[in-house]
A and B are shown apart, each in its own frame.
Chain A
Amino acid sequence: MNLQYGIIMLSYLVLMLAIGLYVSKRVKGLKDYWIAGGSQGAEVVGLSYTSTHVSGSSFMGAIGVTSFLGYNFLPVMAISAAAPWFSFQFLGERLRKVAERIGALTLPDIFEARYETSKIKLLVAMIFIVGFIPYLVAQLKGGATVFNVFLGVDYRYGLLIFGLIVVLYTVIGGMYAVMWTDLIQAIIMLVGFVILIPVALNFVGGFSSLNAQYGAIDPNLLKLTGVKPVMWIVTGIIFWSIFQMGGGIAPIVRFFAAKDTKTMRRAFIYAVCACSFIYGAYIVLAPAGLVMFPDNTNADMFIPLMIKELLPPLVGGILMGALLAAMMSTIDSVLLIIGSAASRDIFQKFIKPEAPEKTQLLVARVFTFIIGVVAIIIALNPPAVILWLTTFTWSINSAAFAIPLVATFWWRRATKMGAILGISTGAIVCFLWYFAGWTMYNAWNVWPLNIWPGVIGGAIGGLVLVVASYLTKPVSKETLDTFYT
Chain B
Amino acid sequence: MVIKYGDKMTESVSSKYSSSKYIKPPLLRFLLMIFFIFFLAICPLIDWPMGPAHLSWGAHILGWGLYVVFIVSSFYMVYIDNKRDKEAGEL
Q: A residues bordering B, Cβ < 8 Å? A: 31, 71-72, 74-75, 78-79, 81-82, 84-86, 89-90, 93-94, 97, 100-105, 109, 112-113, 116, 207-208, 211-212, 215, 222-225, 230, 233-234, 237-238, 241-242, 261-262, 265-266, 268-269, 272-273, 276-277, 279-280, 283, 410, 476, 478-479, 482, 484-485
Given A112-B3, A485-B23, answer yes or no on A238-B41 (Cβ-Cβ < 8 Å): yes
Q: Which residues on B sit within 8 Å (CB–CB) of A276?
A: 67, 70-71
Contact bitstring B29-43, A, C-beta under 8 A = 1, else 0: 110011001101111
8 A-B pairs with the lowest CB-CB distances in the bound complex, closest first? A211-B56, A103-B6, A103-B5, A276-B67, A113-B3, A272-B74, A283-B63, A237-B41
Central interface residue in B48, B56, B64, by most chain A CB within 10 Å: B56
**Chain A residue at minimum C-beta to C-beta distance from B63:** A283
Given B2, B29, B50, which contacts A71 in the complex, CB threshold below 8 Å?
Answer: B50
| A to B CB contacts below 8 Å, 7 in the list | A85-B33, A86-B33, A89-B30, A207-B56, A215-B55, A230-B45, A268-B78
**Number of cross-chain contacts by CB at 8 Å:** 160
* A269–B30 CB distance below 8 A: no
Contact flag A233-B44 (CB < 8 Å), given A90-B30, A266-B78, A484-B23? yes
CB distance from A298 to the nearest CB of B (A): 25
A102-B2, A484-B23 known; A222 vs B59 contact (CB < 8 Å): yes
Residues of B within 8 A of A93 (CB): 23
Q: Is the CB of A224 within 8 A of B47?
A: yes
Question: Would B56 and A222 count as touching, CB distance under 8 A?
Answer: yes
Additional pairs, 20, CB under 8 Å, beyond known A103-B9, A283-B63: A75-B40, A79-B40, A82-B33, A89-B29, A89-B30, A89-B33, A100-B13, A102-B2, A113-B4, A222-B50, A234-B45, A269-B74, A269-B75, A276-B67, A279-B67, A283-B60, A476-B1, A478-B2, A479-B1, A485-B18
Looking at chain A's contact residues, the main secondary structure is helix
> Number of B residues contacting the other chain (C-beta, 8 Å)?
54
Given the complex of chains A and B, what is the CA–CA distance between A86 and B5 in angstroms?
27
Chain B interface mostly: helix
B62 within 8 Å of A by Cβ? yes
A484–B85 Cα distance when bound, in Å, is: 16
B14: which of A81, A476, A482 is its contact (CB, 8 Å)? A482
Do B66 and A78 touch across chains, with their CB atoms under 8 A apart?
yes
Which chain A residues border B29 with CB–CB below 8 Å?
A: 89
Q: Flag if A81 contacts B66 (CB, 8 Å).
A: yes
Contacts of B60 in A (CB 8 A): 207, 283
In the assembled complex, the CB of A437 is this many whole angstroms from the nearest CB of chain B, namely 21
B77 in the interface (beta carbon within 8 A): yes
Provided the pairs A71-B50, A74-B63, A102-B5 are in contact, do residues A82 and B37 lie with their beta carbons within 8 angstroms? Answer: yes
